[in-house]
Amino acid sequence: MHSQTYCHLSAPIMNKKLILPAEVKVCATCSYWDGERMVDTELRLVVVCEDGQGECLVQSKFSRGLNDVRQETAGCAWEHLAPDTASVDLESDNGR
């Protein structure tokens, strides 16, 4: 059985969703991007609409979720959505 997943936006046209590894350097996988997405931290996946848009909180501008941040200026501060488990463990050890 073939199924399709669609993004439910206020626009009358439904759009396909994309599933991306959290390590892919696009705006939708950045912790500073304030757009519509679903994040699975366990699997380290991000689900975003093909034409989804949001605001870059660092640069204070709107950007497409699939915008390749490697093409951005020095103002881009791309950061992983999911914290690195090793750094989280180190921080919790320092608190003892």
Mean pLDDT across the chain: 79
Question: Percentage of the chain surpassing pLDDT 90?
Answer: 56
Largest CA distance in the chain: 54
C-alpha closest to that of 49 among 25, 2, 14, 78: 14
Q: 30's torsion region: left (phi>0), alpha (psi -120 to 50) or beta?
A: beta
Strands laid side by side in the 53-56 sheet: 33-35, 53-56, 61-64
Q: Supply 22's token pair.
A: 């959290």
Output the pLDDT for position 81: 82
Top-confidence range, 5-9, 11-15, 89-93: 11-15
Mean pLDDT of 11-28: 84
Global pTM value: 0.69
